C-alpha cells in the first residue's frame, strides 16, 4: 500500500454508475461538474510539522472518511492497477458526515 508523505491523503473516487432508461450505463465523468470532487480516504500521511517546535500536527482526517476536495489540485496516479488521487491537506474542503 502507498503511504502519503507530509500533509497528504490518498483517495479513491467512489464508484457511481448511472443507467439511462434505455439501459446505457453512464460513467462517473458524465456527472462531474464544478470545481470539487468526492473521494474516500485510503491512507493518511503523518501531517505537516509545526514551524516553531518541529512537532507533527494532526491532520484530523481518517482512513475511510469521504472528503470533498478541490478537483484540479489532486495528483492522479495508478498503483497496482488501481486509480488514486493524492490530495494535500490544504485542498480538503470538507468531510462528509452521514
Tens of pLDDT, residue by residue over 55-71, are 888 888 999 999 999 98
pLDDT tier for residue 86 given thresholds of 50, 70 and 90: very high
Q: What is the CATH number of domain 8-15+35-96?
A: 2.30.33.40
- Measured CA to CA, the distance from residue 92 to residue 90 in angstroms comes to 6
Q: What residue segments make up the domains of the chain, in order of their start?
A: 8-15+35-96
Hey, what's the cell of 12? 479513491
- Report which DSSP code applies to 72: G
Q: What is the pLDDT of residue 27?
A: 54
Q: Which grid coordinates belong to 83? A: 486509480
Q: Is 55 exposed, middle or buried (0-12, 13-18, 19+ CB in 10 A)?
A: exposed
pTM: 0.77
Confidence of residue 85 (pLDDT cuts 50, 70, 90): very high
Mean pLDDT over residues 12-35, rounded? Answer: 62
| E strand or H helix at 94 | strand 92-96
Amino acid at each position: 500500500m502507498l503511504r502519503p508523505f507530509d500533509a497528504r491523503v490518498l483517495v479513491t473516487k467512489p464508484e457511481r454508475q448511472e443507467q439511462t432508461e434505455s439501459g446505457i450505463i453512464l460513467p462517473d465523468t458524465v456527472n462531474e461538474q464544478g470545481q470539487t470532487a468526492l473521494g474516500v480516504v485510503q491512507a493518511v500521511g503523518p501531517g505537516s510539522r509545526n514551524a516553531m517546535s518541529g512537532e507533527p500536527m494532526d491532520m484530523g482526517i481518517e482512513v475511510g472518511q469521504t472528503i470533498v476536495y478541490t478537483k484540479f489540485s489532486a495528483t492522479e496516479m495508478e498503483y497496482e492497477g488501481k486509480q488514486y488521487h493524492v490530495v494535500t491537506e490544504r485542498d480538503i474542503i470538507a468531510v462528509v458526515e452521514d
